[in-house]
């Protein structure tokens, strides 16, 4: 299930991503940038539940240069860190996602918009063929 809304009264700038599967759950809430919530279905039933992971410790991937553990990272600082991470790879870095990936994502977004506007299923190839793009 995918649920999305541009306007939701009482929820200014909320952004939450939750993945649920047969083996567990992972949840990210934009309002709490330093945290991930995790549940492992393989745990004993008596101790199963959501567990908070503070994703700010220097042992976590992508935290180099962030504030010390326990200090909240904010919206602006996250962009500064993203830019620093990208520039540290200059010029021969592993540029992922690359421009081709961005074009693929844009094609999916355009297909979603067209499907909503025309009230029908839209194949990604309808978007890419009009651009001369051969692979997605």
Beta carbons of 36 and 55 less than 8 angstroms apart: yes
Task: Assess if residue 71 is contained within a domain.
Answer: yes
Q: Do 34 and 81 have their domain in common?
A: yes
d(CA 48, CA 20): 14
Q: Do 27 and 82 have their domain in common?
A: yes
Q: Do 42 and 105 have their domain in common?
A: no
Q: Which tens digit of pLDDT belongs to each residue from 81-118? A: 778 878 888 888 777 778 889 899 999 999 999 999 99
pTM as predicted: 0.53
């Amino acid at each position: 299930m995918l649920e999305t809304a541009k306007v939701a009264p009482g929820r200014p700038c909320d952004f939450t991503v939750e993945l649920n599967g047969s083996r567990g759950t992972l949840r990210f809430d934009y309002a709490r940038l330093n945290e991930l919530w995790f549940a492992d279905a393989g745990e004993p039933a008596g101790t199963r539940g959501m567990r908070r992971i503070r994703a700010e410790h220097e042992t976590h991937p992508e935290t180099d240069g962030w504030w010390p553990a326990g200090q909240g990272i904010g919206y602006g600082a996250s962009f500064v860190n993203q830019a620093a991470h990208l520039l540290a790879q200059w010029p021969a870095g592993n540029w992922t996602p690359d421009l081709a990936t961005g074009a693929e994502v844009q094609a999916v977004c355009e297909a979603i918009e067209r499907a909503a506007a025309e009230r029908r299923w839209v194949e990604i190839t309808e978007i890419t063929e009009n651009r001369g793009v051969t692979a997605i």
